Every structure is written in structure tokens, then in C-alpha cells.
Amino acid sequence: MTQGALSYLEPLETRTRGVAVLDALADMVERSGLNIGDRLPPEVSLAATLGVGRSTIREALNRWEGLGIIRRRRGDGTYLSARVQTSRGLVPTMVRLEGEALLRLMEIRRTLENDVVRKATLNATASQRRQITQLCETLLIEVDAGRPWRKADHAFHGAIYDASGNPMYGQLLRNLDHALERGGSSPYAADNFGLGSFPMHRDLADAILATDIPAAVAAINSILDCVEIEVRAIIDGGRLL
């Protein structure tokens, strides 16, 4: 099946990097019936069939690896580790694949965030509770003013991780932030992605200040729910950035 999959590729009309190669590979996987656990054709065969350089194929596969779609076994080959289905509507295939990868990542993040928020609400000192409140105010001011907000967002959540009393939470969650590779034009990397969740950050800060564990857990889940709904809306074509 590995070599037979190549029959579903055709040479690209131009030596296009990026999206054209990724779309061609996604189409090959779907049409050839490759399933999770199946091995992809070798890089050299993919490059020759598409009429592009091997470095172009490697770059595309690196992108897929960053999304958790494939896994490489040194000296053995490249294997499919997630379902790949091409888009048939308005949403580009890579936008949908990025969104699906983000949803998988959010499953892990939800488990960790629930635990860290619970512990932070229980363990935070009075000073840490005040700091979380102040950092939330700073974050919302930046968002309301339309200024870059990511640094303030990281500071707010970082203070919560620190307040949990376990530094490993912060390390794991920061690593998750960098685990998913997003393209420069990805809607999931846009400044207005996730803005709907920011009013709920105040609920989270207030709950931690009040030592209200159920309210804090409810707030972080509302934040994650809001982001997940937005991801699904983009996947479904409800919002393209």
C-alpha cells in the first residue's frame, strides 16, 4: 500500500512550496486509503512523483509532524498517526488539519488546566491572589485597547501556574503552547483568535481571589469551551480569517 499510494500523486505544475505540497499529500493519504499506523512512501519517492525537491517534501512533513499527524521512526520510515481528510468546501485543508490538531491538544490542556487552577485557588498566597487580579486587569486593558495582548496573557496564566505550588505545571503548559506548529497565516495564530474568552478571565481571577475552587474550575472550562467553539467554527467554515 505504501508504494501504491504514489499513484494518487501527480507532478505539481510549479515547484510550489508549502500549501500545494501539503494539499497533495493530504489528497494522496485520503484517496489511497492510508490509515493510522500505515507507513507513508519514502521522501525521495514523494519528491520525485510531485516533481519537487526533497527538501520541500521534508519541510511539508516537518509541518505535519508538528501537528501530530505523522511520527517518524529513525531508520524505519514515516507513519500516519492521525486521520487525514481533505476539505471539500471553503476551508483550506491545512486550516482544518491545524484546527483538528489544536482540538487534540486542548484535550490534554483541559486536564492540566483544571488541576492547576484547582491547586492555585487552594494554595495561592494573599500576595499571589492580588498579583493575579492585577495581571488580569492589565490583560483586559490591552485587549480592550486593541493592543497586542499575548505577553499580558502569558503573564496572567503564568502567575496562576506559579501559585499552584508545582513548577512542573507551568513548564508543561508552556511547552504545550509551543507544541503545535501553526503557519504564519494560520487563523489560529491571528490576534483576534480567542478574543471571546477574555471576559471569562475576570471570572477566573475573581474566583481565585475569593478562594472559590468550583467557580475557578468553571471559569477555566468556560474559557476553554469558548476557544474550542471558535476552533470548530473555523473548521466548519463559519469564520475564516
Query: In this structure, are residues 12 and 60 in contact, taking their beta carbons and an 8 Å threshold?
Result: no
CATH number of the domain where residue 28 is located: 1.10.10.10
- HEC per residue, 165-208: CCHHHHHHHHHHHHHCCCCCCCHHHCCCCCHHHCHHHHHHHHHH
Q: Of 47, 80, 113, which one is at a domain's C-terminal end?
A: 80
For 108-161, what is each residue's pLDDT tens digit? 999 999 999 999 999 999 999 999 999 999 999 999 999 999 999 999 999 999
Q: Is 88 within the bounds of a domain?
A: no
How many structural domains comprise the chain?
Answer: 2
Q: DSSP 3-state assignment of 127? A: helix
For 5-53, what is each residue's pLDDT tens digit? 777 676 655 544 567 888 899 999 999 999 999 999 999 999 999 988 8
Q: Is 131 within the bounds of a domain?
A: yes
Q: How far is 28 from 133, CA to CA, in rounded Å?
A: 51
Q: Which three cell numbers stand for residue 13?
A: 505544475
Task: Give me the sign of the Cα torsion angle 221, 223, 228, 233.
Answer: positive
Whole-prediction pTM: 0.80
For 94-117, what is each residue's pLDDT tens digit? 888 889 999 999 999 999 999 999
What is the Cα Rg of the chain in Å?
Answer: 21
